[in-house]
A and B are shown apart, each in its own frame.
Chain A
Amino acid sequence: MQKYRGHHVRHWPLIAVLVALSAPLVVMYVYQIIDTVTTTPAGSIIPDGLTLHHWRFLTGPLSDGGPTIWSLAGNTLVFASCTALVVTSVSLTAAYALSRLNMPGRGFFLGGLIVLHAFPTVTLIVAVFLILQYMGLYDTLTGVILVKVAFELPFGIWIMKGFYDSVPWEIEMAGVTDGADRFTVWRLLVLPQVQPGLAALLIFSFLSGWSEFILPLVLAPANAPQVLATYLAGIIADDRFADFSLFKAVSIFYALPVLVIYLIFQKKLMNIYGGGTKG
């Protein structure tokens, strides 16, 4: 197949089109990196010197009396990890039930899953905001985590169900024939089979939590549990300083885990994003 594709066909016109289309993105990526370690005279696009000044936030507060980057990173880490762990563990059991267990109402639950998967969760934000206030969880990290988990669940269950569906029935049949109950079969025989799915979902929901902006913005706007996304958006929107190099350095720091994870798990992520995420 590879042979025929490249066969006596010139690629350069195609490449030229793609380069032209991709140029703005590449410019943004390149400057996103070099602007953080260089100085550029106002009104120019060519840097004239090297500096580490834009990274000063690593050792001190970003603004007077503001939080340090490390406490923000800590909050974000707690938020993203809790989200990932809860989404994955709840999906792990729910997806197995939907994929393999014979129970009344299974068709209804499966239909519900597809509907929820497509449903645009952002539209519920007004009601969720008020419900969290009634529950006393407004402005807490716990509240944001719960909502984030709930909003990620349909996707998580959907992905996990796909992994369970591809486990051969023979493995379970063998376990059941040996006299084990379904719980034991799931724990000892099936779980090891879906470990790649488990890892993929952990990574995906961690990234999703790490990048989340709207939910912390709306549901925990106070200073205490602030995460990197809302803080960064806050200083960018603040007219008092328009220091793009500083913003870029902070945002590179913010995106570093994302980039590292992407480089390592590129293939896995492409597949899971293709599995039908939103956005």
Chain B
Amino acid sequence: MRQDRIGFLFLTPALIAVVIFYLLPVVMTAVFAFTNMSTATGIRGGGYLVTEQTLRDLSGHGLTGATLSQLADAGYEVDTEGLAALAATFGDRLAGHIEAELGGESFATSRELERALRDLRAPELRITRDRKQAASLFQRSVLNIRHDTADALRDELTGAGIPGGDHDMIIEAAYTGWSWTMRNFELLLSLPSTARYALNTLIYVALTLVLFNVGLGLLLAIATFYLPKPSAAVFRAIWFMPRILPPVLYVLMWKWLMWDNGFLASALAPFGVERINWMLHSEYHAWVAIILINGVVGASFGMIIFASAIKAIPQTLLMAAEVDGATRWQQVRYVILPQMRWPILFVTAYQTLSLLASFEYILLSTGGGPGSATEVWAMAAFRTALNNYGGNLQYGMGATFALVLVIIGTVLSLLYLRFFNFQALLAKPRIER
């Protein structure tokens, strides 16, 4: 087999995964953002159903009382459907009797039909209660009957004698499925919470990145570089742990450290410090908590990248500085740090993207609280579409939130291509066939 054929064969499984779980979701996020999909509308097309709630909505939209009562009570009709129901309750004899006497007739009210039934003097309907029950079987109402298409509902409305001018409004109100809309974007721009989420995200990404992923990461990498091997290994292991531990366990440790009966509160109590929940006592506590929790994990990433970059610095450079009598600080300042420019750029570029989209540790620790003080953009998308307390999940609105991140993510990761030495990657395979 030729190598390009083998190549495509080898790539196919990966390509299928990419199409279904990357390309399709990117496109669908954009599509869903223009819909009002939610738990209430369902994700497939809906039907047409007039309910009590629809009537209330319609009266708010100016439908006349006469039409409304017509919708709720479209009169009584002695038809085969009603007769079949009657036969099931009262027996075939009575059904045949009624069909012969009243078949095909219509009555405006229950009272009129009951009177007609009484006049039949059938032994089965001697009691008023039975007559009422029998009459109810012939009631025709548009309410609570599900129609699959708009035309089916229109026919029903015509049959009930509802003026044609009102049909469109009723059909629109009766639609149970989702529809296309621009409302999500209007909401996004008008809600004050949007600005709050954006600002929260900015603060969260900037502080975590600068203080921990880069700052602490560099400090740890340089400090462990100068230590003898055994102690360096111990500190690296301590700081590497948070990355390897499952997030649920890692956050549990922080919760135990900070909750109002936890380590911090108990350790500080003898010094007269009030017992508080150090994670959720105030907005500031929550902010410190989520930046610490994310930052410690981020610092390990920086530490690993920077440590291997420092190792790659030619030893002669460091020796020369040493011989010249440079202090350790001067060595760091003038030899190591200038060599860290690219690694820092890499960590910044890479971690900006992942911090921008990440909300796992926030969800597990503060849950965005207190209030929505620490709610970041990615978490707002998650909550709106997949996990809110109200129970009605707003898929369309959530997708609109997500779309913003998808666009930023796509643009930044395309830019990211430039960071890489792409030409080196493209080195031509050396075997021709």
Contact = CB atoms under 8 A, between A and B. Distances in A.
Are A and B subunits of one complex? yes
A182 B254 CA distance: 52
Nearest to A152: B17
A131 B414 CA distance: 25
Interface in B381-433: 381-382, 385-387, 395, 398-399, 402, 405-406, 409-410, 412-414, 416-417, 420, 422, 425-426, 428-433
B249 interface: yes
Residue in B1, B22, B432 whose Cβ sees the most chain A Cβ within 10 Å: B22
Interface string A248-279: 10010011001000100010011001101111
Contacts of B378: 122-123
B366 interface: no
B22 A116 contact: yes
Contact count band on A: 35 or more
Contact of B6 (A2, A32, A97, A262): A97
Interface stretch (B93-101, B153-161, B351-359): B351-359
B401 to A, nearest CB: 8
Nearest to A17: B223
A117 B14 CA distance: 13
B244 A258 contact: yes
A196 interface: no
Contacts of B305: 274
Given A9-B226, A42-B261, A128-B25, A102 B10 contact: no
A269 B245 CA distance: 13
B228 interface: yes
Interface residues of B, number: 116
B181 to A, nearest CB: 16
A173 interface: yes
A131 to B, nearest CB: 6
B228 A6 contact: yes
Contacts of A183: 1, 6
Main secondary structure of the interface of B (DSSP, over half): helix
Interface in B68-98: none
B180 interface: no
Given A211-B246, A279-B243, A115 B414 contact: yes
B105 interface: no
B53 interface: no
A127 B405 CA distance: 13
Interface in A103-135: 103-104, 106-107, 109-112, 114-131, 133-134
A122 B4 CA distance: 33
A241 interface: no
A70 to B, nearest CB: 18
Contacts of A97: 6-8, 10-11
Contacts of B395: 126, 129-130
Closest 7 CB pairs of A and B: A120-B357, A150-B21, A103-B7, A127-B25, A101-B7, A94-B14, A103-B4
Interface of B: 1, 3-4, 6-11, 13-14, 17-18, 20-22, 24-26, 28-29, 32, 37, 43, 216, 219-220, 223-229, 231, 235-249, 252-257, 261-263, 266-267, 269, 275, 296-298, 300-301, 304-305, 308, 315, 318-319, 322, 328, 349-350, 353-354, 356-360, 363-364, 378, 381-382, 385-387, 395, 398-399, 402, 405-406, 409-410, 412-414, 416-417, 420, 422, 425-426, 428-433
19 contacts: A1-B315, A9-B328, A29-B241, A32-B256, A45-B267, A100-B431, A101-B10, A122-B360, A129-B386, A130-B32, A134-B43, A213-B246, A218-B386, A233-B364, A254-B248, A266-B237, A270-B240, A273-B243, A276-B350
Given A114-B420, A157-B14, 4 more contacts: A28-B253, A102-B432, A118-B349, A255-B246
